[in-house]
Structure formats: structure tokens, C-alpha cells
Amino acid sequence: MEAAWLILPGFAVAACLYASVGHAGASGYLAVMALAGMAPAQMKPVALLLNVVVATIALIQFARASCFSWRLFWPFALGAAPFAALGGALQVPDGAYRVLVGLGLLLSAMRLAWPAAATAEPVLPNWWIAVPLGAGIGLLAGLTGTGGGIYLSPLLILCRWGAGRDTGGVAAAFILANSLAGLLGHRPDLAALPAALPWWALTVASAGFLGAWLGSRRTTPLLFKRLLAAVLIVAAGKLILA
């Protein structure tokens, strides 16, 4: 279909921008597909599959730049993965919570765009705090067809559990795990994926590589936070206006 080719530029922009902060772009892909009039049943599994591609690339880039902490990642992922699968399988009315979550992302974006001049050194959260928080984020990720990075990254930075680019690799690994888990809840939909999916995957892989390389090696901490704020604004707009 013609729309399959017309949405390639939108996918490329989303992948590059999101990957620059360790994200994979699911919220952006969903927005582009909604504007193109794609069937809702196809949108979530497509977004999750593209997420897997870009999150893998982003994780490799950020890990190579020493921007990954296993100790920060594992408790959030442990709580999130099973609930991401559950959220992917649930069908619930989502208008109200989308607006609430979108407003929360906007507030986070405003705080990140104008950070305080001085910040304390990051301190890792206790596992008994991180695991239930990860579970809540995983459920939101599964319900919205995203990897959850748009919720995890601002939480890590604003709670001072991670700093700037150091959260990029954690977010990428978290998104990869949640996207794979979320796909388990969409197994019936995987049989009817669009024929253009391989071209979409190639597009986001190329753009995601560029974005992740720039984000992991060329951004300053302040620029990283402002890029993340831009990503959150895009995601919030998608949630509120969906």
C-alpha cells in the first residue's frame, strides 16, 4: 500500500530521536501509523517488533560507550517483564489513563528541560523499591504497546538513581526485555503483519544506529536531558491525542 512507503520518513525521524536517549521509538511509530490510518490490531505488534530492532542497536552502542549498569537494570526488568506480557494481552478502555500518563510525561519533560544547576551523585535504589516500580511500568508498557522507556528514564534521572547518558543503556535493555515480553501477548496478531515490515525494520535500524551513536558519544548531560524531554513531549502528545 502507498501509505507503507509514505510513513518511512516518520519512522526514521522517530528512531533517530528516540535512540539518541536509549529509547526505541514505539510511541513515535504508533503516532505515525495512526496518522497513516493503519488498523489498530497491527499497530502494537509492529511497534514492538521495530522496538526490538532499535533497542538492540541502542543497547550495543550505549554499552560500548560504558553507559550501562547491570545493578540498576535488573530489578526494574525483573518486575517489568511479566507485567509487560500481561499488559500486552489485556484489552481495556484506555482513554482516561492515557491522558493522565500523558500529563505526567509532560511534567517530567518540563522538569528535565530545565534541570537544577547542581545535582547529587546518583544512588542505586533498593531492589524492593525498584521491582514493584518496574512491575507498574511494565504493565503500562504492555497496555500501550511500548517498551516502557518513556516512563523509566525520567524516573531514574529525577529520582537521581541514574545520571544523563548512563541511563541510556539501562533504558535500551529495559525496552528490549519489555518489547519481547509484550510480543508474547500479541502472538495471535503476528500472523497478519504488513508486507512492508522488513523495509520498516531496515529504516529504523539505520536511523536508530545514527541516533544511538550520537546519543552515547556526542551529547553532553544537559543536551541528553533536553533530548529526553523532547522525546517525552512527543510521547505525551501521542498518548493524550490518541
- Can you give the pLDDT at residue 161? 93
Stretch 75-101: mean pLDDT, rounded?
A: 80
Q: How confident is the model at residue 133 (pLDDT cuts 50, 70, 90)?
A: very high
Q: Does residue 205 register a pLDDT over 90?
A: yes
In tens, the pLDDT along 22-39 reads 999 988 898 888 778 787
Q: Which three cell numbers stand for residue 165?
A: 547518558
In terms of Cβ atoms closer than 10 Å to its own Cβ (0-12, 13-18, 19+), residue 90 is: exposed
For residues 41, 25, 175, 37, the Cα torsion angle rounded to the nearest 10 degrees is 0
Question: What share of the chain in percent tops pLDDT 90?
Answer: 43
Q: Where are the beta strands (DSSP E) in the chain?
A: none
Q: Which three cell numbers stand for residue 14?
A: 522517530
Stretch 85-109: mean pLDDT, rounded?
A: 74
Among the residue ranges 12-21, 105-114, 148-157, 207-216, the one predicted with the least confidence is 105-114
pTM: 0.87
Q: Does residue 185 register a pLDDT over 90?
A: no
- Please report which helix (H) or strand (E) contains residue 133, including its range: helix 127-144
Q: Which three cell numbers stand for residue 170?
A: 539501562
Stretch 41-50: mean pLDDT, rounded?
A: 88
